[in-house]
Amino acid sequence: MNNEIDKRDKIGIYILLIIFAVLAASAFTYYMLNPSTIVPMDTKELVVTQMEFTTLSDSDIIILHVTNPETKPLTVATVKINGYTQNKITGDSIHGLTFEPGDLGTITIEQNWIAGNNYTVDLFTPDGHLLGSYTDTA
């Protein structure tokens, strides 16, 4: 009688293993025929690599050195320093404040600054997305 129980247990285990193998093979086949697609987020980033504080023609200016690592052009529409929108900004790109993929360039901001103070610059797209932020001490 013990042999019959042992045989039934073994047969049950074999059946479970076969069912598991069939399910695993089915799942693998489904995955291979219908792979998951990872949709990248629409990120936009203009990297500020350096901030310079200088004076030209009796005007204090801040110069941002930027690079566009993205695969699409990026346009800076708004610049804020310490939370305040700046009106006197220019870019050295041939397209003004639009930087093509891989572009290195500068953004010049006419802004009074005081040596020893921290300044945080935030760059925004025309639709209000933050492109980049950088903090440095004058």
- In this structure, are 12 and 64 located in the same domain? no
- In this structure, are 113 and 54 located in the same domain? yes
Task: Summarize pLDDT for 81-136 with one digit per residue, the tens.
Answer: 999 999 999 888 667 899 999 999 999 999 999 999 999 999 999 999 999 999 99
Number of structural domains (the chain) is 2
Spatial distance between the Cα atoms of 93 and 103, rounded to a whole number of angstroms? 8
Task: Summarize pLDDT for 66-78 with one digit per residue, the tens.
Answer: 999 999 999 999 9
Containing domain of residue 89, as a range? 47-137
- In this structure, are 8 and 70 located in the same domain? no
Buried-exposed string 20-55: b where 16+ CB fall within 10 A, e elsewhere: eeeeeeeeeeeeeeeeeeeeeeeebebebeebebee
Q: Is the pTM of this model over 0.75?
A: no
- In this structure, are 6 and 23 located in the same domain? yes
Task: Summarize pLDDT for 19-40 with one digit per residue, the tens.
Answer: 777 776 776 666 666 655 554 5
- In this structure, are 101 and 128 located in the same domain? yes
- In this structure, are 62 and 21 located in the same domain? no
